[in-house]
A and B are shown apart, each in its own frame.
Chain A
Amino acid sequence: AQKITQTQPGMFVQEKEAVTLDCTYDTSDPSYGLFWYKQPSSGEMIFLIYQGSYDQQNATEGRYSLNFQKARKSANLVISASQLGDSAMYFCAMREVIQGGGSQGNLIFGKGTKLSVKP
């Protein structure tokens, strides 16, 4: 069965520094997608970045980048130049790519990492 593991329940980072949030996954499927979501204290889920299993390059979106190591089954989120507004829960999620229809490739979430940015 597919599984997502986030081993850091909580992390602190100094404002303006970079931080890496860990995510490892387990799947036997060759095709899958990895997503990161941010959940601020207000509660909404905000999509940050996506990495496909066949993507040759690491995904980047502004200050967010994904350190994708396929052989190690890890997809760590890197936030550069941390800001106070980055304080939030961060969730890693995986979606299977189902060929030929059937399941919609539902998301499987990790338990999240709470990031706190210190001024």
Chain B
Amino acid sequence: NAGVTQTPKFQVLKTGQSMTLQCAQDMNHNSMYWYRQDPGMGLRLIYYSASEGTTDKGEVPNGYNVSRLNKREFSLRLESAAPSQTSVYFCASSEYDSLNNQPQHFGDGTRLSIL
């Protein structure tokens, strides 16, 4: 049971470098999400994708771009990394129904440090 797979698990970047965080889910979910987790802040939504071909901004989208490559994959890109983007990044997916009671399933996270 792979569930939600994120790569890489750890990454160190220099300020100004770019990189893409990868996420793939094998649960046939329509919706996918990217969160960041900072100490004492809980999880905050960066971007989400309601379905293949659509993406929308969340609470903290500045400095990030996303691509919903297909139903399985949702990537997060940092074009010019900044120290403020040092964080743990989580990808999640969920099914969507009219009651909206389906839990989001999370990957194991990517720990990203920007020097």
Contacts and interface: CB of A to CB of B under 8 A. Distances in A.
B43 A96 contact: no
A31 B109 CA distance: 30
B64 interface: no
Interface in A70-100: 91, 93, 95-99
Interface size class of A (residues with CB under 8 A): 20 to 34
Interface string A1-36: 000100000000000000000000000000101010
Nearest to B9: A43
Given A91-B42, A97-B100, A111-B42, A45 B90 contact: yes
Contact of A43 (B58, B92, B103, B109): B109
11 contacts: A35-B104, A44-B107, A45-B90, A50-B101, A97-B101, A103-B50, A106-B45, A107-B43, A107-B104, A109-B44, A110-B42
Given A44-B106, A96-B100, A104-B48, 15 more contacts: A33-B99, A43-B108, A44-B109, A47-B103, A52-B99, A91-B42, A91-B43, A97-B100, A98-B100, A99-B98, A103-B56, A104-B31, A106-B33, A107-B104, A109-B44
Interface of B: 31, 33, 40-45, 48, 50, 56, 58, 88, 90, 92, 96, 98-101, 103-109, 111
